[in-house]
Every structure is written in structure tokens, then in C-alpha cells.
């Protein structure tokens, strides 16, 4: 079913249409993030909570109207796709893919190879010794092949491998920066990353294949992780591994420093080495009054820092021609993963808990307006006028 929307105010507030005056939503209303991004070839995306899509009308309208690419927040992960070994459950992900097609959106597939959200039968089998490493590799190959084949032709970018590199706090990095404690690296060695790209490419040769991670575009003080990812990706490319792009997740926290300049430089460095780049999971969290359901920040200054960091990330993407999509990791605070993962933090998204746009939304919209149209020419600024 196509959603019909009518009025979208300057701040992106949606008003339901009763009928004939409704504008088609397939390309978003005029001031929507997606429409503005489209003018410069940039896709604006969101992670989608599949439980809300088509069941919460306002949520669904915003997804349709504001975004030109969608990422399933959870329903394409292995535990969702194969909760019981051999029984594949593509239903919820198929619904999102159908929705995206109806609304002229492209899909970022997320994610094929990760240490998290693995099916219980798999981790139990490996832990209990009933799945040995040879079997594990065959099971993984089947998983990637089955999933990519199922969605063949319907996925724009796949996050093939996710979060393989060590952070400063991880105790056992390998020589090239890969996390030696990663589940897959421990069992199958780091060559499994290249295998995953090859298997995905064999199943859908037209999908863009991405390596996805956090703190790999200027957020890491030493830049060691970004350096390691770049060197690794270049090595794969030279070895003929089908890797097209690098995704920086962009999960920021206002309590840490952040340099938009460093992000721009790192994104450009990937681009200069022949990779497409994408901001894949953008959000900016801060400390909140935890007793307040509205996720009000504890510090007034963070209500300025939060939209500022969004804007800096978008500008970094805008500055790099190979940056082809900018995706927020959920658009509303009510659905954010942040309060459940970081004690005392929230306010991470661009819409509030009641699905109203926040200053971060307006900042992104203004940045895109300027990128799309430039500033209006001044009149009356001449010496004699």
C-alpha cells in the first residue's frame, strides 16, 4: 500500500492527509531530507524497527517521507533469519524490502558476518563441540549464500563484515589490527573476512559490498583503527577480493571529542584509494535525566553539541564525492538502542520520543538545503544600493 501524505511543514512535521490534496510520497515532500539529498545524489537513510513499520502510522509516514534508503535494524541479522537451524525466516525482512520498493527506497543489507546476534544453536554448537571449525565454515558459507541469494537484486549495499578491528581497549589485536578475540577470527582465522566478500559477490554480483565498523573515520584519537582498516581494505582490493566500500557507523557521544575535519580526511582517504564510503549508523548520544521519559539532556550545552556533531558528520560526507549515503541509526529517541546500552544516556536521534523533529533534524535539513540550492543571493549589499 502506498502511503499518502500531504503537508510537511518547514520543520518536517507531518500532517496526515485526508484525500485529494495529498502529494505522492514516493520521492518525499519538497523539504524532506530525501528530496534535498536527491538533488546532489546523496541517499539519506534510517535504520528501521520492523515491528513499527506498517503498525505505527506516524512512524511509517516519516520513514516513507524522509528517507531514500533503509537499513533493517535487526531483521536481516543471522539470529533473526535462522532462529532454528535449517529454517529460514525471511518474512520481516521481506516486508521491509517490499516497503522500500513501494517508496522508491534502496536497501542497505545488514549484516552478514558479525560476532553478535548469532543464532543460539550456532554458538551452543561451537561451544559444546558439536560444530567443529570445518563445519562452521561450511555453515557460514551456506548462510551468506542463502541470504544474499534470497535478496538478490534487491539490496543496494551489503554490510558484509562488521566490527572486526580492535579498539584501543581490546587486549589482543593481531599485527594488522584485526581483533584476535573475535569469534570468527578465533575459529576460522582472519581470512574469513575475504571469504565472506567472495561468497556474497558470487550470490549477487551487482550488490555493493561494504566493510562496516565504528571509530574508523576520525573518531579514534590515534586514528590507529582507521589506518588499520584502510590498509586491510587496500590489501583485499589488491588481492582481487570484491570489496566496494567502507562504512563508518558514526555512533558519537557528546562527552568525547570529535573532529569533523578528521572525519572528512579519513573518508577522503578511503575514497582516494578507490572505495565508496557511507555513514551507516549515525547517532549522537548524551547524558539524560533518566527519570524523564522525554530523554531531556542533563546539560543544556549538549542540546547544542548534539545537533552540531550531526551536522559535522553530514558535512564530512558532503565534502567527499564518494560518500553515497548518510544513514541515521533509527530516527527517533523512542526506538533508540542507546538507553538500553549506555546507562544514563539517550537523546541520540533526530526526532524526539513523540516523533517530532529535533534541532538535529533542522540542522541536517539546512545543511542539505545549502548543499542542494546554495544560499540565496543577497540583495541590497552593493555600495550604492
Q: Among all residues, which ones are annotated catalytic?
A: 163, 281
Measured from the CB of residue 21, what is the shortest distance to ligand 9MR in angstroms?
A: 37
Question: How many residues bind to ligand 9MR according to rule CB under 6 A?
Answer: 8
Residue 130, interface with ligand 9MR (CB under 6 A)?
Answer: no
Q: Which is nearer to ligand 9MR, 248 or 363 (CB)?
A: 248
Q: Name which of 3 and 112 has its Cβ closer to ligand 9MR.
A: 112
Q: Is 345 in the site for ligand 9MR (CB under 6 A)?
A: no
Grid cell digits, residue 319:
565534502
**Nearest one of 324, 245, 330, 265 to 295, comparing CA atoms:** 330
Cβ neighbours for 57, distance < 8 A, ≥ 6 positions apart: 16
Among 26, 55, 84, 117, indicate the residue that binds ligand 9MR (CB under 6 A). 117
CB 23 within 8 A of CB 5: yes
* Residue 163 or 367 having the CB closest to ligand 9MR: 163
**Between 260-272 and 224-238, two packed helices, what is the crossing angle to 10 degrees?**
10
Question: Within the chain, where are the H helices?
Answer: 33-38, 57-66, 78-81, 91-102, 120-128, 133-150, 183-188, 191-203, 224-238, 260-272, 302-319, 338-341, 359-373
Q: Of these, 73, 82, 253, 333, which contacts ligand 9MR (CB under 6 A)? A: 73
Read off the DSSP letter of residue 60: H
Establish if 211 lies at the interface with ligand 9MR (CB under 6 A): no
Q: With H, G, I as helix, E, B as strand and everything else as coil, classify residue 127.
A: helix
Nearer CB in complex with ligand 9MR: 232/337 = 337
Report whether the peptide linkage leading into residue 111 is cis, meaning its omega lies within 30 degrees of zero: yes
Among 35, 179, 215, 249, binds ligand 9MR (CB under 6 A): 249
Nearest approach in angstroms of CB 344 to ligand 9MR is 17
Q: Which residue is nearest to ligand 9MR (CB)?
A: 337
DSSP characters over 232-287: HHHHHHHTT----EEEE--EEETTS---HHHHHHHHHHHHHTT-EEEEEEEEEEEE
CB of 52 to ligand 9MR, least distance (A): 12
Q: First and final CA of the chain: distance in angstroms?
A: 55
Of the candidate residues 24, 26, 84, 116, the single one contacting ligand 9MR (CB under 6 A): 116
Number of Cα atoms under 13 Å in the Cβ half of residue 108: 36
The minimum distance between CB 110 and ligand 9MR, in angstroms, equals 6
CB of residue 337 vs ligand 9MR: minimum separation in angstroms?
4
* Residue 182 found at the interface with ligand 9MR (CB under 6 A): no
Quick check: 25 binds ligand 9MR (CB under 6 A)?
A: no
Of 73 and 82, nearer to ligand 9MR (C-beta) is 73
Query: With binding defined as CB under 6 A, does residue 74 bind ligand 9MR?
Result: yes
- Interacting residues with ligand 9MR between 281 and 300 (CB under 6 A): 281
| Cβ count near 89 (within 10 Å) | 13
Name every residue whose Cβ is closer than 8 Å to that of residue 356 and which is 6 or more positions away in sequence: 13
Residues 135-164 that bind ligand 9MR (CB under 6 A): 162
Cell 535494524 maps to which residue? 73
Considering the complex, what minimum distance in angstroms separates the CB of residue 214 from ligand 9MR?
7
Applying CB under 6 A, the residues found at the interface with ligand 9MR are 73-74, 116-117, 162, 249, 281, 337
Amino acid at each position: 500500500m502506498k502511503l499518502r501524505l500531504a503537508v510537511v511543514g518547514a520543520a518536517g512535521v507531518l500532517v496526515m492527509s485526508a484525500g485529494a490534496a495529498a502529494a505522492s510520497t514516493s520521492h518525499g515532500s519538497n523539504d524532506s531530507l530525501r528530496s534535498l539529498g536527491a538533488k546532489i545524489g546523496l541517499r539519506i537513510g534510517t535504520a528501521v524497527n520492523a515491528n513499527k513499520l506498517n503498525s505505527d502510522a506516524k512512524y511509517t509516514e516519516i520513514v516513507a517521507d524522509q528517507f531514500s534508503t533503509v537499513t533493517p535494524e535487526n531483521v536481516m541479522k543471522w539470529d533473526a533469519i535462522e532462529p532454528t537451524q535449517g529454517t529460514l525466516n525471511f518474512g520481516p525482512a521481506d516486508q521491509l524490502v517490499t516497503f522500500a520498493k513501494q517508496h522508491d527506497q534502496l536497501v542497505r543489507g545488514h549484516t552478514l558476518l558479525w560476532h553478535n546476534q548469532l543464532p543460539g544453536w550456532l554458538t551452543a554448537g561451537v561451544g559444546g563441540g558439536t560444530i567443529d571449525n570445518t563445519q562452521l565454515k561450511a555453515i557460514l558459507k551456506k548462510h551468506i549464500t542463502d541470504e544474499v541469494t534470497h535478496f538478490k537484486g534487491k539490496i543496494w549495499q551489503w554490510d558484509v563484515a562488521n566490527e572486526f578491528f580492535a579498539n584501543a581497549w581490546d587486549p589482543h589485536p593481531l599485527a594488522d589490527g584485526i581483533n584476535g578475540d573475535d569469534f570468527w577470527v578465533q575459529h576460522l582465522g582472519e581470512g574469513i573476512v575475504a571469504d565472506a566478500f567472495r561468497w556474497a559477490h558470487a550470490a549477487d554480483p551487482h550488490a555493493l559490498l561494504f566493510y562496516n565498523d565504528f571509530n574508523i573515520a576520525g573518531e579514534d584519537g590515534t586514528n590507529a583503527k582507521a589506518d588499520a582498516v584502510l590498509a586491510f581494505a587496500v590489501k583485499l582490493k589488491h588481492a582481487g577480493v570484491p570489496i566496494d566500500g567502507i562504512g563508518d557507523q558514526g555512533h558519537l557521544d557528546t562527552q568525547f571529542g570529535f573532529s569533523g575535519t578528521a572525519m572528512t580526511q579519513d573518508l577522503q582517504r578511503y575514497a582516494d584509494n578507490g572505495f565508496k564510503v557511507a555513514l551507516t549508523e549515525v547517532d549522537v548520544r548524551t547524558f539524560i535525566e533518566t527519570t524523564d521519559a522525554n530523554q531531556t539532556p542533563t546539560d543544556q550545552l549538549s542540546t547544542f553539541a548534539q545537533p552540531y556533531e550531526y551536522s559535522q558528520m553530514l558535512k564530512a560526507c558532503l565534502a567527499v564525492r564518494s560518500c553515497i549515503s548518510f544513514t541515521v541509526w533509527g530516527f527517533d529517541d523512542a526506538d533508540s538502542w542507546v538507553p538500553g546500552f549506555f546507562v544514563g544516556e539517550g537523546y541520540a536521534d533526530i526526532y524526539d520520543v513523540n516523533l517530532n523533529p529535533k534541532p538535529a533534524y533542522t540542522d541536517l535539513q539546512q545543511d542539505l538545503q545549502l548543499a542542494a540550492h546554495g544560499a540565496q543571493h543577497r540583495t541590497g549589499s552593493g555600495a550604492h544600493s
